[in-house]
Structure 1
Amino acid sequence: MKPILENLVEMTGHRDHLRLEVSVLSTLQKLPTVKEVRALEVFQVDGALHVRPRTWVEQGQLVSTQAHVAQSDARRQPLKDFPALQQCIANRAATALHSPQKGVYTLWLPVWMHEDVHTCLEITQSRPFSAHKLDVIKSVFHVYQNYQSLLDYSERDALTGLLNRKTFDEQFSRQVSMPSAGATELTSPGDASLAAEEPLQQWLAVVDIDHFKQVNDRFGHLYGDEVLILIANILRSSFRGQDRIFRFGGEEFVVLLRSTTLSTAHKIFNRFRLAVKEYHFPQVGQVTVSVGFASTSRGAPVEILGQADQALYHAKEHGRDQVLFYDELVEQGHLHTKVAHDDVELF
């Protein structure tokens, strides 16, 4: 019992979801008769649920891969290949047991967050799980899941449920340093030839609701909050799971769009803009947004954010309800940069 308690203390000392995942698997791996532990990521591809190992044991060490490669991971499998786990998730059950052959007994523990399951812990051992063993595993798992929920709560905006500014500051450097190769591109068949000619990049967009102060002044903060919540919902439906959406506060949002071309980034951001424009907001009616975006391929995080912000303010000062790209504004002479000592400085 003492080693388990020591591992629980170490586990709850983490402030990062992936490190916490590695820590709980390390705790479970040390239990007697356990042969293998993994964390499976659960995600959708073309409307069907798939799973793929995100954290596993390799040469005696726990290793992880990042979430953004899920859809292109060659090890992904349809969830239907795991009938017991599929039924468990469909029934919102707490656990699933499966024994494909003698000497191999697998326990699955789905991690439920916000009515969805995105992760499942998998524990395999050489003998059937005793009632006592299941109680120990479930107790460790409940501590892990509760702590995951606390971390998630601290990372999210209370009103919209989107990631908050604090989380953006912590994640941005890590997000932009991830490789782009191999990720799934948001293109239609007609875009294939164009996409092949353009490099995949990552993009940061700043989104601002046009004339939001007038909404609050005219209809009150209750309807203003409803507009923010509905905009957040449109943002969620407009981007992929591997993209990241943040609320910066007030009426401003930030989107990190992963691994796509410039032409497709334009289409994606404009598709979101049109979705907002065409939506009928209760009592308020029509609402529009302005978007400024920049590539994350060069410059420090604060500089990239500043570039997207400049593009946003140019959009708001020149008609609103539009999407503008920072580099194009510079090329057209609308914005300027100053080069000094091989660094780009904004002014």
Structure 2
Amino acid sequence: MNEYDCTEPFLPVPWQRTNVGIPFGRNGLSVKEDRHVAFNPPATGTTSMTNTPRLLDKLVSMTAIHDVELMEFSLLKTLKEFINPQELLILKLDRNGRPYYQLRLRQEQYEITVDQIVVDEEILAAIAVVRNTGQPFSRGLGSDQVLTLWHLLQLKSVEVILVTVTPHSLTKLDAYLVNGLLGVYRNFFTVLSEAQRDQLTGLANRKTFDDIINKIHVQSPPATDPVLIERRVETDGATYWLGMADLDHFKRINDTWGHLYGDEVLLLTAQLMQSHFREHDYLFRFGGEEFVIILRAPSQEQAQQAFERFRLAIENHPFPQVGQVTVSIGVTRMDANVFSATLLDHADKALYHAKDHGRNQVCFYQTLVENGMIQENDIVTGEIELF
């Protein structure tokens, strides 16, 4: 068989094994390593040239997008068109290797699932192999399906995996095409991530906030191609909560120890946020010593537990040279009928109530209003009169 024959299977099915054992999962089981075919480019003059204009159009569309989620939609749509999979999805794994986010393309519809992810045992087993090797992995699922996984990204506490199920093994041409598309995705993801993140802390920056609010309220942002989106994020009846956190006496830290130590406090605060909130919670630095957290919780009591856990983590952390630092937090329950500016105003009022009443505490806007401690002043969608 010619080395660049485009009909040659990309990966063996079922597994072709060597004698090299790979650790598998937390229980110490092991599987054998699959032999992977290198991604050699197809020979010049193959039928790949017929797809070149279409592929270039897809790449132009994908790189015109300035939103990571929409770029992932575009990636799946492009892969579907070129390799015609029976199943196609992107999984995001937390620091323990558990899926917490799933973007699935099924029957021309994009389905987003958060939190309650159900993944087949075959896929979980393959994920363990891909996480250990960092290489694509394939195995047969019966006589008419082939499961293939690709390692997309490794972030600080998140791994991204592409899962495909096809009726037969990918050819070398298909594999080379997929690998190239994933390379474009990785490179452009880096560009988008840098544009959407605060340079000092690595948290999301202020300009990404409104986009996140739109996604939370199931308002699909405009895409280069129309897509149907189903979001499965409210299966447990949970509510979103927006918290605004501000480090207490931060100006004193800068004035006493200098801005270098002040920046270190901000960086350590961001790291404590990332370790005490979940991967699918949204963390922002709004500027200076002000941070915003958006999380989901079934009740105010559980939301308060999450924010209190973070507050205590800051209070008990020994900041180098500076010593003890505390944080005040104002929280509001999110409502799809309330403008984001009003939500921020509610959280800000609760925050300043915490500042004015001793600092180093968590205050909820709704509770303060109910107790008559602050006045409610909402701008609700549809109430603005322009003329």
Whether TM exceeds 0.5 here: the answer is yes
Comparing both structures, which one devotes a greater share of its residues to strand?
A: 1
Q: Would you say 1:72 and 2:113 are equivalent positions?
A: no
Instruction: Indicate the RMSD between aligned Cα atoms, in angstroms.
Output: 2.7
The one-letter code matched in structure 1 to 2:110 is V
- Give the match for residue 133 of structure 1: 174
Structure 1 segments, 4+ long, off by >6 Å, are 339-345
Pick the structure with greater CA Rg: 2
- Once the two structures are overlaid, the 10-residue window that deviates more, 298-307 or 336-345, is 336-345
Matched, 1:311 2:350: yes
Letter in 1 for 2:132: A
Contact 2:137 2:148 in 1 (8 A): yes
Alpha carbons 1:315, 1:324 under 8 Å: kept? yes
Following superposition, the deviation at residue 291 of structure 1 comes to: 0.5
Change (3 A) 1:37 1:147: farther
TM-aligned CA deviation for residue 40 of structure 1: 2.9
SS across alignment from 1:283: coil
Cα deviation, residue 266, structure 1: 1.6
Equivalent residues of 1:42, 1:52 under 8 A apart: yes
Count of matched residue positions in the alignment of Structure 1 and Structure 2: 320
For the residue of structure 2 that corresponds to 1:72, the secondary structure is coil
Relative distance call for 1:21 and 1:37 in structure 2 (3 A) is: farther
Q: Distance in 2 between matches of 1:331 and 1:52?
A: 36
The 3 A distance-change label for structure 1 pair 21 and 305 is same
Partner of 1:85: 127
Identity across the alignment (%): 32
The answer for the alignment partner of 1:331 in structure 2 is 370
SS at match of 2:115: helix
How many angstroms does 1:173 deviate by? 3.1
Residue equivalent to 1:193: none
Paired residue for 1:35, among 72, 77, 85?
Answer: 85
Superposition pairs for residues 152-167 of structure 1, below 5 Å? 152-167=193-208
TM-score by length of 2: 0.75
Name the structure 2 match of 1:143.
184
TM-score normalised to structure 1 length: 0.83
Name which of 91, 94, 105 aligns with 2:146.
Answer: 105
Could you tell me how far apart the structure 1 residues matched to 2:197 and 2:379 are?
38
User: How far does residue 41 in structure 1 lie from its aligned partner after superposition?
Assistant: 1.5
CA, structure 1 residues 88+141, in 2 after alignment: closer, same or farther (shift >3 Å)? Answer: same
Return the match for 1:202 from 240, 260, 268. Answer: 240
1:57 aligns with 2:106: yes
Shift of 1:154: 1.2
Query: How far apart, CA to CA, are the structure 2 residues paired with 1:107 and 1:169?
Result: 36
Partner of residue 155, structure 2: 114
Query: 1:116: Cα distance to partner?
Result: 4.9
Contact 1:95/1:110 (8 A) holds in 2: yes
Q: 2:266 aligns with which of 210, 223, 228?
A: 228
Structure 1 residue 164, shift from structure 2 partner: 0.6
More helix by share: 1
List gaps (5 residues or longer) in structure 1. 184-198
